[in-house]
Chain A
Amino acid sequence: MRRSSSPASSLPHIVSLFWLLVGISVNAADMTAEQRSFFESKIRPVLVKQCYECHSQEAKKLGGKLLLDAPSEMIAGGESGPAMIPGKPDESLIVQALRYDGLEMPPKKRLPEQVVNDFITWVKMGAPDPRVDAPKSAKKAVTTDKAALWSYQPVTNPRVPLVRNKEWPRHAIDSFVLAKLEAKSLSPTKDAAPEMLIRRVYFDLIGLPPSAGEVSAFVSRHLSFQQVVDELLESPHFGERWGRHWLDVARYAESNGNDGLSRNPSFPHAWRYRDYVIRAFNEDMPYDRFITEQIAGDLLPADSEAQRDRQLIATGFLAIGAKPAKAMNDNFEMDVVADQIGVIGHGIMGLSVGCARCHDHKTDPIPTRDYYALAGIFKSTETLWGAAAHQGLTAPQTPLHELKMAAKVAVRPEAEVIISKHEPRRPPAKPAFKYAADTPLAMGVREAKTVVDCKLNIDGESKKLGAPIPRGFLTACGGIDPGIQIDAKQSGRLQLAQWLTSKQHPQTARVMVNRVWQHLFGEGLVRTPDDFGITGERPTHPELLDHLATRFMSEGWSIKRLIRDIVLSRTYQLSSGNGDLQSPEAAENRLSLFGAHRVRRLDAEAVRDAMLAATGDLNPQPGQGSLIQHQNVLINELPPLHQPSTHRSVYLLMLRNSMPPELTPFNLPDAITVAGKRDTSTLATQSLYLLNNAFLVGQSKRFAARLMQVSDDTTTRIEAAYRQAFARKPTDSEMHSARDFIRETDLMLVSTQNDENKRLTDAWAAFCQALLASNELRYVD
């Protein structure tokens, strides 16, 4: 999305008729007659003729929220800060603008030198002004409606509500949910059958299906649900599942994506951030610490080199964003800052702070000044994205963090074979920063050499500068520890992290508990997980949201405890059966109030992982490094780099605009913006994937080959296939259909395949593909 043009330039030309508005009485008692006459003859006519069209109460569209028709307004200023500082012409925006110095006003034509000098003289005099302040219009009004601004209100700790059916709740969560249902005269559906529940909790917690043995251990009550949950929380697969959810928020990818000039440079070290995130979830790093490391890990003390490495890698969060090309882009530096503010705004606070880059936020109380207060923090920060494929037009080269303890990795032969065959279309520039081969490196940030406040960019243009804005945070989130002060010599990232993770911050905890809830139920308590602002949805259960947020913070920001709390509630353990109600409205209401669980399609990674698990091909070990490690290349110039892999999907090569073809059919996010919620649309292209994709075909063959080893008996093989794929026995009718299918397919293949063994294997592979392609594999109740 481009910045909108200056409001002034799009204004139609109207005749000024503002004499009526201007006060005539004199209120400045100490104003001399000469001063008054100077103002009336030299200043007022110019203001009226040249400025009021856009900068007065009568303006059709107020430019930059600046009024020049009242003395106090000139000093108070607009979006760009004070228009004038009496006595200081060089620091006054109005003088700079008239001089066409950075800012250009009036936009049509520079005024004659004499007029500019008159204004300088006037400001020097102390800007004597006989005009009377007109009553303020509603020009700066954003809503003050507390209901609309719900997420800016402090988090409360609501009382657990009383419910009529006292038998039902097992947990405070249940009372909050039941109270809402009872208010609509609804009751929850039945509890989930154990087979349903075990499959649900496996996918939700580790993203993989339970094996037949694990299902029977639970169904036969050898293990309690709590035991199952605790085991899953300790599984190394937990971090792979929940880390991937965070990677969606962090817009994680291993290449820049199209920079607007069709170039897509690789990020050869981004995968270290992926591993950092997975580990953080596995170790249950407190969420406040997790945020702090990602924003200011380089500024935190470290007990060991290894810890220092980890904290440097964490700051990759701020460096892995998609950047527009540097070429012909004066705003490049501020575009990088915008990405950083965007990911913190949407990702951590659920606020679209980025809107305030060019104008005060249209709906939320986020003025442009607040945006540039944050921007100063990142302008005082150096972002280390690396070589950008040594293509200066895309981005200037930067150094990277050098790691001390991390394992060295070399280029991968599979990628090298492809890459070495290709000549770059444009010769790469010389590396500006040289590291010994295999040096472990990481993307990230560090303090800039100079720490500066950011000047406001008028209309978001970095060449149209307004007043410098002291570094700081969002004013509307108010009430947070005023002791958090930004040191003049520091960027302020550490303080930003402190501010975000303060227990008084109204959004941080709410946003995260809502994300967790959404991943466990298919919908959040707020259905727009990245937008808690006025344009987002309101929470369906505001009290429950606050209850969870309060607990989350008081229990040490532990994600695992939060998840454990929720999945042990009765609400989580409800059936997805919702067909027992008379009216569709009631059924829809019950579902949206969490009185029944949702039937959900697995996300792209879980679909692929479930297939690998079903065929027995899944390699449960973490994938090591990345196919493009230590390869600074333009992805767009190369043939696809993706290689077959049996590791979990989170370890596949995630290149912007060139995502793994095994995942793309099932609604992958583009990794350009924060994506807290994935789309789950059903498309004909997904059917084609299930019917024809080489990965699926290959997996079916391997699945079949394994079945052939199991036994010579068809019945035994079919039972094994169902156990592997769905952790259950086939029904009688399923057994019949499967036998018929194998027999008929074998006959149909006679004309094309003479070898009896191969023919039979093909028939079994076709059967296995049907299992992998069926809905039972991709949907969880």
Chain B
Amino acid sequence: MNHLSRRQMLHTASCGFGYLAMSGIASAATADLTARAPRLRAKAQRVIFLNMGGGPAQMDTFDYKPQVGKKPHAGSIAEFKRRGQSGLWVSELLPNIARHADKLCVLNAMTADTSIHAQSMLQLHTGDRLRPCPSMGSWVAYGLGTENMNLPGFISFNTAKPAEYSAAQLPSVFGGTPIGVNGEDMSKATISNIYSDHLPMSVKRRQLDLIQAMNRDHLNVRADDAQLEGVIQTMELGFRMQAAAPDLLDLSQESKTTLERYRVGKNFAAGTCKASDFGRQCLLARRFCEAGVRFIEITHGSWDQHTDHRRDLTANCATTDAPIAALLDDLDERGLLEDTLVVWGGEFGRPGLTPGQDKDQTGHQHRAFTFWMAGGGVKAGHVHGSTDETGSNPVDGKVHFRDLHATILHLLGLDHENLAVVSGGRRIRLTGLQGGSVVREILA
């Protein structure tokens, strides 16, 4: 057949590292997830993304905006204190995270393009707010492979939409494996069909070989269909997951103290704050992280506090504070924090409450909001970026999602300029056409 296969196409389009990653797949279908050394010097080996969906109120968590001047203005309603050696401002609503202030690198001048939830959420995940593009986790798994061949490189807990963990134009095997889709009970969420004893493993393996042979025959007469190639790889991955995932998902061997520290099963629901068993998610994130998964996303998607701001804010903080602190404790204690990058934030933030108005209401604000990172090569006890006195606009150190993406990839030793694929004549990368800049000021 006289045509360029997709593999050849990726080769000739030679997008630097993108091609290197692909060549691993081309050599053998089973080698697709193999760990590979990044091009640049890496500080971090993996990422835990604490996805705070809905738009957390930055002025009541990390960006302290007390009343200044004569005229009252929008600002923080929560009390703040300086914490640790660094003197970082952290809200009293987050007493446990506050213990870790000296580990945090707070980005107070994050900025996004839109205040539409779905679009901004998609842009945070994929770099593009409209068209389907590979998710950040897929890029990381694609760039680095996995440290554990029996697990996917990217696991996504409690995400709202498949588009947020999709491999899109990347090979399907780099797509996120969802645990608990939106609305599911996160206390029970698991990987469906992970276990069955209807056949011994040896026969299952033999059976998979037969399926794969049939699938390859089917593919061979259909030119070069990326979709069908993707199925072959994910069949293999699914098979291997049976060996590792059931034990990882089983928390029965964890001590009572640990379950207590993470507040596993301690669900808290009030107003917008829905039960997400965030404690279980945090503990599972630690376990998957230890097992070598590259990118783990866990989600508490309840921060869209419009009415009853105070009540819902308190609930959202209370439900996430202790679990996150326990996760940071454990990562630190096990030496994992050194090469694990923890990222906290949502699709945008919120304006403060209007002063003098007896309303407990906020809206969306995408011009300025907060993210924080910890571990994996970022400065500790550091604040980057600031906003004006009402917290509504960045003053300096503005960081766009594109810059955040570039920085995360950089910390992992990946160059956002070159980590790309060509699909249908279009070159696709996480930082998009415009590209981002690595935020050098926060590199340790």
Which A residues are CB-close (under 8 A) to B191?
685, 688
**Complex CA distance for A752 and B201, rounded to whole angstroms:** 12
Whether the pair B183, A599 counts as a contact (CB closer than 8 A) is: no
Whether the pair A579, B224 counts as a contact (CB closer than 8 A) is: yes
Name the one of B1, B231, B363 contacting A579, with C-beta atoms under 8 angstroms: B1
Given A9-B361, A682-B172, are A775 and B269 neighbors across the interface (CB < 8 Å)?
A: no
Name the one of B6, B74, B196, B218 contacting A584, with C-beta atoms under 8 angstroms: B6
Which B residues are CB-close (under 8 A) to A667?
162
**Complex CA distance for A752 and B267, rounded to whole angstroms:** 44
Is B206 in contact with chain A by the CB < 8 A criterion? yes
Whether the pair A770, B211 counts as a contact (CB closer than 8 A) is: yes
Of the candidates B167, B173, B200, the one having the most CB atoms from chain A within 10 angstroms of its own CB is B200
Which B residues are CB-close (under 8 A) to A680?
227
Is B440 in contact with chain A by the CB < 8 A criterion? no
Name the one of A5, A665, A733 contacting B362, with C-beta atoms under 8 angstroms: A5
Is A16 in contact with chain B by the CB < 8 A criterion? no
**Complex CA distance for A548 and B225, rounded to whole angstroms:** 31
Given A579-B3, A682-B227, A737-B213, are A689 and B222 neighbors across the interface (CB < 8 Å)?
A: no
Whether the pair A769, B237 counts as a contact (CB closer than 8 A) is: no
Name the one of A262, A576, A687, A697 contacting B275, with C-beta atoms under 8 angstroms: A262
Whether the pair A601, B73 counts as a contact (CB closer than 8 A) is: no
Whether the pair A109, B356 counts as a contact (CB closer than 8 A) is: yes
Could you tell me how many residues of chain A have their Cβ less than 8 Å away from some Cβ of chain B? 78
Which B residues are CB-close (under 8 A) to A748?
200, 202-203, 206
Whether the pair A691, B231 counts as a contact (CB closer than 8 A) is: no
Is A681 in contact with chain B by the CB < 8 A criterion? yes
Which B residues are CB-close (under 8 A) to A693?
193, 196
Closest to B362 in A: A5
CB contacts under 8 Å to B, within A680-704, are: 680-694, 697
Which B residues are CB-close (under 8 A) to A770?
207, 210-211, 214
Is A581 in contact with chain B by the CB < 8 A criterion? yes
Which A residues are CB-close (under 8 A) to B299?
none
CB contacts under 8 Å to B, within A20-44, are: none
Whether the pair B215, A774 counts as a contact (CB closer than 8 A) is: yes
> Min CB distance, A681 to chain B, in Å?
5
Which B residues are CB-close (under 8 A) to A299?
none
Closest to A753 in B: B200
Q: Could you tell me the dominant secondary structure of chain B's interface residues?
A: loop
Which A residues are CB-close (under 8 A) to B397?
none
Closest to B179 in A: A685
Is A577 in contact with chain B by the CB < 8 A criterion? yes
Which A residues are CB-close (under 8 A) to B167?
681-682
> Min CB distance, A300 to chain B, in Å?
37
Chain B 1-22, CB within 8 Å of chain A: the 1/0 string? 1111010010000000000000
Which A residues are CB-close (under 8 A) to B45?
none
Whether the pair B1, A661 counts as a contact (CB closer than 8 A) is: no
Whether the pair B166, A681 counts as a contact (CB closer than 8 A) is: yes
**Complex CA distance for A588 and B3, rounded to whole angstroms:** 13
Q: Which stretch from B77-85, B238-246, B338-346 is at the chain A interface?
A: B238-246
Which B residues are CB-close (under 8 A) to A2?
272, 304, 306
Whether the pair B234, A767 counts as a contact (CB closer than 8 A) is: no
Whether the pair A766, B239 counts as a contact (CB closer than 8 A) is: no
Chain A 559-593, CB within 8 Å of chain B: the 1/0 string? 00000000000000000111111111101100000
Which B residues are CB-close (under 8 A) to A779?
218, 228
Is B334 in contact with chain A by the CB < 8 A criterion? no
Given A599-B225, A681-B162, are A775 and B361 neighbors across the interface (CB < 8 Å)?
A: no
Given A10-B363, A679-B162, are A766 and B192 neighbors across the interface (CB < 8 Å)?
A: no
Name the one of A583, A697, A775 contacting B198, with C-beta atoms under 8 angstroms: A697
Closest to A731 in B: B217
Whether the pair A599, B222 counts as a contact (CB closer than 8 A) is: yes
Given A4-B363, A588-B425, A688-B191, are A9 and B206 neighbors across the interface (CB < 8 Å)?
A: no
Closest to A11 in B: B354
> Min CB distance, A725 to chain B, in Å?
11
CB contacts under 8 Å to A, within B371-401, are: 390, 392
Closest to A700 in B: B198
Given A580-B1, A683-B234, are A10 and B354 neighbors across the interface (CB < 8 Å)?
A: yes
Which A residues are CB-close (under 8 A) to B238?
684-688, 690-691
Q: List 7 A-B contacts (CB under 8 A).
A: A9-B354, A661-B192, A681-B172, A684-B177, A691-B193, A691-B196, A775-B218
* Residues of chain B having any CB pair with chain A under 8 Å: 1-4, 6, 9, 71, 73-74, 115-118, 130, 152, 162-163, 166-167, 172-173, 175, 177-178, 182-184, 191-196, 198-200, 202-204, 206-208, 210-211, 213-215, 217-219, 222-225, 227-228, 230-231, 234-239, 241-242, 269, 272, 274-275, 304, 306, 351, 354, 356-357, 359, 361-365, 390, 392, 424-425
Nearest 3 CB-CB pairings of A with B: A687-B238, A579-B223, A5-B363
